[in-house]
């Protein structure tokens, strides 16, 4: 069903609109009386690596939608994707531009390419009139964050969703409500940590190269990034995240997960100062260990806040903050009257109030009194309607466990925003990109958000707004 057609859309608008404006929402069971299967939304998937095949496609399958086209510059990944259940009849493309030109009936596009391709493909999809879901981080530079936010705002009837699925969980939304309620007192610090990944860290590119595998269009894969030789097991598949030309290490990979709760609930806005310390800095790839500190100015009734990001096995929050052993990943929101442990994906709501010896869940009496102000989706109403099933009819939406994809699909079906649209995701991503900037500059960054400048560091402009290399595959 093309986005240009209004078949069966009105039934979704009321519930989707409630989601978009932040009202507590229980979707009525009548929503299951959806259109016939041939009126389902049509999706195209671009970037057929592990995240797409291992997470996004299964999530889309849970809501009974159809994938009609796939795209990847690596024929091996295209061929592998076509073996996945539900994709065997999908049309395969090498170039996303050809897909968008030919697949005019596609309603929505899901993007899971390397980071440096996110914005060019998002822009092309939005300009083609498609709803867009893009994996985090949304962008590869501060300038790209600003450009994508502006473009998304100019297409208000297109539903966008950032791939930070933790925000669609009950734990996130309850934690959001706890923070805004004032239960934790004056919040002064946020601590987010991650042990790092197996991709290359703290190194420069290899001096040698390998033959480009048959079926991989290496020049297209590089895209706007400067040319470099191909090397096995260094960039593709999956190892690109650690290289600054293509990704931003664990900072870029997890800012949209670990920062989102504090950013949204505290309305942090742009940081005023960013400083990075660590080991193996100054290379072409993310360091093996680092700590990045973000200073956020006071706003309204909220005082100043420091956000600390730790990456690497020896960089963890100090003992006086954790007050005991912590897991290898996590997020702590620290207030004068208590601390909230949200987990790295911000999916948990565990609270240790002042004077308590341990964390307790959201069912403790003090939390139970806090009003629910954020939207909810009652997963019970997503179950198959037995009366329709008995007649051989299928509802549009079947049961889902994680509602992130469902909320976006619901927004695609009506004129409403999803919970994590690009306007929000781009701003959280920008904070992460400023962390990457501090790591690469190896100097404290005093940030002028309005002018989009690192004060007194004109050399930072090349990272804030990098100019793409020119080749025939540059986005048109």
Angle between helices 142-153 and 422-441 (to 10 degrees): 170
C-beta separation of 27 from 381 below 8 A:
yes
The pLDDT assigned to 389 comes to: 55
The pLDDT assigned to 15 comes to: 33
Mean pLDDT of the chain: 87
SS3 letters across the chain = CCCCCCCCCHHHHHHHHHHHCCCCCCCCHHHHCCCCHHHCCEEEEECCCHHHHHHHHHHHHHCCCEEEEEECCEHHHHHHHCCCCCCCCCEEECCHHHHHHHCCCCCEEEECCCHHHHHHHHHHHHHCCCEEEEECCCCCCHHHHHHHHHHHHCCCCCCEEEECHHHHCHHHHHHHHHHHHCCCCCEEEEEEEECCCCCCCCCCCCCCCCCCCCCECHHHHHCCCCCCCCCCCCCCCCHHHHECCCCCHHHHHHHHHHCHHHHHHCCCCCCCEEEEEEECCCCCECCCEEEEEEEECCECCECCEEEEEEECCCCCCCHHHHCCCCCCCEEEEEECCEEEECCCCCCCCEEEECCCCCCECCCCHHHHCCCCCCCCCCHHHHCCCHHHHHCCCCCCCCCCCCCHHHHHHHHHCCCCCCCCCHHHHHHHHHHHHHHHHHHHHCCCEEEECCCCEECCCHHHHHHHCCCCCCCCCCCC
Label residue 302 by pLDDT band (50, 70, 90): very high
Is pLDDT above 70 for 137?
A: yes
Q: How many Cβ atoms sit within 10 Å of the Cβ of residue 455?
A: 13
C-beta separation of 410 from 9 below 8 A:
no
The pLDDT assigned to 28 comes to: 33
Query: What's this model's pTM, rounded to 2 decimal places?
Result: 0.89
Architecture of domain 170-224+237-372+428-464: 2-Layer Sandwich (3.30)
Averaged pLDDT, 223-231: 95
The pLDDT assigned to 17 comes to: 32
Is pLDDT above 70 for 50?
A: yes
Which segment of 36-50, 278-292, 293-307, 338-352 scores lowest on mean pLDDT?
36-50
Label residue 207 by pLDDT band (50, 70, 90): very high
**Is domain 10-168+374-426 classified as CATH 3.40.50.300?**
no
319: left (phi over 0), alpha (psi -120 to 50) or beta: alpha
The pLDDT assigned to 323 comes to: 81
The pLDDT assigned to 70 comes to: 98
Distance CA(215)–CA(218), nearest Å, equals 9
Torsion of CA 135, 140, 145, 147, to 10 degrees: -110
The pLDDT assigned to 290 comes to: 95
The pLDDT assigned to 234 comes to: 96
Q: How many Cβ atoms sit within 10 Å of the Cβ of residue 367?
A: 20
The pLDDT assigned to 416 comes to: 52
Is pLDDT above 60 for 299?
A: yes
Is pLDDT above 60 for 92?
A: yes
The pLDDT assigned to 20 comes to: 32
| Dihedral (CA of 357, 360, 365, 366) sign | positive
Is pLDDT above 90 for 379?
A: no
Is pLDDT above 90 for 163?
A: yes
Angle between helices 142-153 and 118-127 (to 10 degrees): 10
User: Two tokens at 244?
Assistant: 């600054």
Domain boundaries, the chain: 10-168+374-426, 170-224+237-372+428-464
pLDDT above 70 as % of the chain: 84
Is pLDDT above 50 for 296?
A: yes
Question: Hunting for tokens 């990979």 — which residue is that?
Answer: 253
- At 381-416, the pLDDT tens digits run 444 455 655 666 544 444 444 579 988 998 998 745
Averaged pLDDT, 169-188: 97
């Amino acid at each position: 069903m093309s986005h240009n057609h209004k078949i069966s859309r009105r039934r979704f608008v009321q519930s989707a609109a409630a989601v978009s404006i932040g009202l507590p929402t229980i979707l009525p069971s009548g929503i299951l009386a959806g259109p016939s299967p041939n009126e389902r939304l049509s999706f195209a998937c671009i970037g057929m690596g592990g995240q797409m095949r291992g997470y996004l496609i299964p999530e889309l399958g849970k809501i009974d939608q159809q994938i009609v086209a796939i795209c990847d510059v690596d024929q091996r990944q295209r061929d592998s994707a076509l073996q996945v259940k539900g994709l065997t009849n999908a049309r395969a493309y090498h170039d996303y531009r050809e897909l968008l030109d030919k697949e005019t009936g596609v309603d929505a596009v899901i993007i899971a390419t390397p980071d440096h391709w996110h914005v060019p493909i998002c822009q092309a999809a939005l300009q083609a009139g498609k709803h867009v879901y893009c994996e985090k981080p949304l962008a590869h530079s501060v300038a790209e964050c600003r450009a994508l936010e502006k473009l998304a705002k100019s297409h208000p009837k297109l539903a966008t969703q950032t791939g930070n699925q933790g925000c669609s969980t009950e734990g996130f939304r309850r934690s959001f409500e706890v923070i805004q309620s004032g239960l934790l007192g004056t919040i002064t610090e946020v601590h987010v940590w991650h042990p790092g990944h197996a991709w290359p860290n703290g190194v420069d590119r290899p001096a040698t190269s390998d033959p480009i595998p048959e079926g991989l269009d290496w020049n297209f894969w590089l895209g706007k990034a400067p040319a470099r030789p191909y090397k096995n097991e260094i960039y593709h598949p999956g190892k690109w995240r650690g290289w600054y030309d293509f990704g931003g290490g664990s900072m870029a990979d997890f800012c949209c997960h670990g920062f989102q709760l504090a950013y949204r609930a505290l309305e942090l806005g742009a940081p005023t100062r960013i400083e990075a310390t660590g080991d193996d800095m100054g290379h072409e790839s993310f360091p093996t260990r680092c700590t990045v500190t973000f200073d956020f100015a006071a706003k309204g009734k909220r005082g100043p806040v420091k956000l600390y990001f730790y990456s690497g096995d020896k960089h963890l929050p100090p003992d006086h903050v954790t007050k005991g052993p912590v897991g290898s990943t996590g997020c702590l929101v620290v207030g004068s009257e208590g601390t909230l442990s949200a987990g790295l994906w911000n999916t948990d709501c565990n609270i240790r109030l002042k004077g308590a010896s341990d964390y307790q869940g959201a069912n403790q009496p003090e939390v139970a009194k806090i009003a629910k102000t954020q939207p909810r989706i009652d997963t019970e109403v997503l179950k198959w309607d037995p009366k329709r099933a008995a007649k051989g009819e299928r509802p549009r939406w079947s049961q889902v466990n994680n509602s992130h994809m469902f909320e976006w699909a619901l927004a695609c079906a009506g004129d409403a925003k999803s919970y994590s649209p690009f306007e929000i995701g781009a701003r959280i991503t920008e904070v992460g990109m400023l962390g990457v900037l501090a790591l690469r500059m190896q100097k404290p960054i005093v940030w002028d958000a309005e002018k989009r400048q690192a004060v007194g560091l004109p050399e930072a402009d090349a990272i804030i707004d990098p100019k793409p290399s020119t080749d025939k595959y540059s986005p048109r």
